[in-house]
Amino acid sequence: MRLMIVFEPKEYVKYSDIDKYDVQGFIYSLLKNSSLFNNLHDIVGFKFFNFSNIFPISDFEKNTLKKLIISSPNPDFIRSLYDELNKISTFRLNKYKMEILKIKVLRNKKSSKFISSTPIVLFEDNENNRYYSFKQNPNFDFFFNRLKDNAIKKYNAFYDDDFELESDLFSGFELVREVSVRVKKDGNSFIIIGSLWKNLEFELTNQNKDFYNFLFDNGLGEKNSLGFGFLNSGK
């Protein structure tokens, strides 16, 4: 399930001045009065939500529209955000004021192809906090096997299930490029390495449709609740 927020900046802001942690913090602030999700920030483990880049990707200017999509496989999560957003007319990203113009719940479109609109991130070594890089280790089997294991683990955790996917995660794929994203937290900045993809193809069946619908709303790879691995339907 997805929610789109259309908003207008009240002042000029450089695009780079609003960070993924600013968007994540905004989402958590909306949930602080929710009886279901007010402690989500403190839960150790999967958070089961994701968000897009703010688009269009350009500096924030007065009298121009910006959009943000938040997704989750949990409809109650989206409904909680929707209810809280309807109580306010403005919000802040970092310290910058934004005016809400429209809130809309989006229906998922059935598709057998994904596009990653934000980088898909995987750890190559969790203990040493080392991200997988195709520039360092161009191994597609390693990447997609790790991605499949991660996806199934999250799906089974969310549904308390023991689902197994017999096929490959994707029957076709096209790597667009590897990217490095600088994020800032508590005055410190660090780099997260990920990759962008298109034509992530799969065959939808009655047995796997819930699984791929989950991936669409939850995202692929690590750090989904920080806005990585956000998916759109491919054409």
- Catalytic positions, please? 28, 41
Is the CB of residue 128 less than 8 Å from the CB of residue 110? no
Give percent helix, percent strand, percent coil of the chain, each to the nearest 5. 25, 35, 40
Measured in residues, the chain has a length of 235
Angle in degrees, 0-180, between the axes of helices 209-218 and 140-159, rounded to the nearest 10: 100
Edge-to-edge strand order for the sheet containing 90-93?
50-51, 66-71, 2-9, 96-106, 90-93
> If you search the block for the tokens 């688009």, which residue do you land on?
55
Half-sphere exposure of 52 (CA within 13 A, CB side): 22
- Could you tell me the two tokens for 117? 């609109």
Q: What is the DSSP string of 121-154?
A: B-EEETTTTEEP-TTT---HHHHHHHHHHHHHHH
Contacts with 201 (C-beta within 8 Å, 6 or more apart), sequence order: 112, 113, 170, 171, 172, 173, 234
C-alpha 234, offset from chain centre: 16
